[in-house]
Amino acid sequence: MGKERIGFIGVGLMGHGMAANIVGKGYPLTVLGHRNREPVEDLKQRGAAEAGSARELAEACDIVLLCVTGSPQVEAVINGPDGLASAGKPLLIIDCSTSEPAVTTRLAAELEPKGITLIDAPLSRTPKDAWEGTLDVMVGGGSDAVARARPVLDCFAGRVIETGPTGTGHTMKLLNNFLSMGYAALYSEALTLGAKAGLTPTVFDSVIRGGRMDCGFYQTFFKYVLERDRNAHRFTLRNALKDMTYTSSFANAAGVANPLGAAVRNSYALAVTGGHGDDYVPMLSDITAGLNGISLVPEADAEGSS
């Protein structure tokens, strides 16, 4: 039996590297056209085919991966006009987006009678890891569906963690992002307080780095703070706000008080409503400092970049 035919929708920052690894491992791959043509053309050169609609993609595939912004986009691509479900054939859909768990479980139940199995497999780490095939994947779904998905996930994952039934992957992803976005908000406020007292980001870093509060997320965040590397962590503040809003919805539905979650969400809401939605997460440090009338950029750098 030959390899299953794979479809991929959402070949953006994360999806491009993931899809390149799938086609590179010898899977027949069809991608959906994307407003950014560059990744589509690159994948076609690597051997992928292109579909003009989600329906056309479904007709050519057995398994479809989604790597889109969130639940509204997932619903649109599955149930919209010319969506995946309109092909009227059995499919395994793997949602790698950061989606709302309640929507994921509802969608899975609605699709099951149509012969379509939906499982959630959200991602952790960076676009660089997507290219290197070292993403962390949290996968929620029935054991048979997960076993079928596993060889495809292994194309781009360094770790695959099974979390339980459908929806639990997305729940775990929200908790993961609550921690990381929470760290970013904490770092930003701590840097601002330090700068106000004359402690530079370099001094701050020299104390934290290598100590108990150091971690991988801290290092990518501070690659921007210290080196001004805009691409250190390419995750937009708009997406961070979306994830924190999903976390808030989840807490409300579960009847759980989450005062820290609300504070973290508001840090991103302030940044996004201030016009910084397309900036990346480490840039929250500059926005927080700016709101307090100070700069974290060393004076020599600031003069050079003005």
Whether the CB-CB separation of 99 and 105 falls below 8 Å is answered with: no
Mean pLDDT along residues 91-110 = 95
Dump strand ranges (E) for the chain. 6-9, 29-32, 49-51, 63-66, 91-95, 116-120, 123-124, 135-140, 157-164
Amino acid identity at 242: K
Residue 303: the pLDDT is 46
Tell me the C-alpha distance between 214 and 203, whole Å.
14
Give the architecture (CATH level 2) of 171-295. Answer: Orthogonal Bundle (1.10)
Mean pLDDT along residues 91-120 = 96
Checking DSSP bridges between strand 91-95 and strand 123-124, what pairing results, if any? unpaired
Residue 63 three-state SS: strand
pLDDT digits (tens, 9 = 90+) for 176-218: 999 999 999 999 999 999 999 999 999 999 999 999 999 999 9
Residue 302 in this model has a pLDDT that exceeds 60: no
Residue 100 three-state SS: coil
Q: Which residue has the tokens 């780095």?
A: 209
Q: Which residues contact 242 (CB under 8 A, 6 or more apart)?
A: 69, 70, 98
Residue 1: the pLDDT is 56
Tokens of 84: 């995946």
Average pLDDT score over the chain: 94
Tell me the C-alpha distance between 205 and 134, whole Å.
27
Residue 169 in this model has a pLDDT that exceeds 70: yes
For the whole prediction, is pTM greater than 0.85? yes
Q: Which residue has the tokens 């076993």?
A: 147
Residue 48: the pLDDT is 97
Residue 35: the pLDDT is 80
Quote the percentage of the chain above a pLDDT of 70.
97
Which of 60, 59, 81, 77 has its CA nearest to residue 15? 77
Q: Which residues contact 28 (CB under 8 A, 6 or more apart)?
A: 3, 5, 6, 49
Residue 274 in this model has a pLDDT that exceeds 50: yes
Amino acid identity at 299: E
Element (H, E) at 15: helix 13-24
- Give the pLDDT band of residue 2 (cuts 50, 70, 90): confident
Q: Give the Cα-Cα-Cα angle 56, 9, 30 (nearest 5 degrees).
A: 55
Tokens of 21: 């690894």
Q: Find the catalytic residue in 173, 196, 223, 242.
A: 173
Residue 162 three-state SS: strand
Give CA separation, 57 vs 31, 156, 186, 247, in Å. 7, 21, 43, 32
CATH superfamily to which 6-164 belongs: NAD(P)-binding Rossmann-like Domain (3.40.50.720)
Report DSSP state, residue 3.
P
Residue 105 in this model has a pLDDT that exceeds 80: yes
Residue 299: the pLDDT is 67
Does residue 173 have an active-site annotation? yes
Mean pLDDT along residues 242-251 = 93
Tokens of 223: 């690659």
- Give the pLDDT band of residue 238 (cuts 50, 70, 90): very high
Range list for CATH 1.10.1040.10 in the chain: 171-295
Whether the CB-CB separation of 57 and 84 falls below 8 Å is answered with: yes
Whether the CB-CB separation of 29 and 47 falls below 8 Å is answered with: yes
Whether the CB-CB separation of 194 and 170 falls below 8 Å is answered with: no
Tokens of 29: 């791959």
Residue 305 in this model has a pLDDT that exceeds 90: no
Mean pLDDT along residues 233-243 = 94
Checking DSSP bridges between strand 29-32 and strand 49-51, what pairing results, if any? parallel
Which of 181, 190, 50, 163 has its CA nearest to residue 105? 163
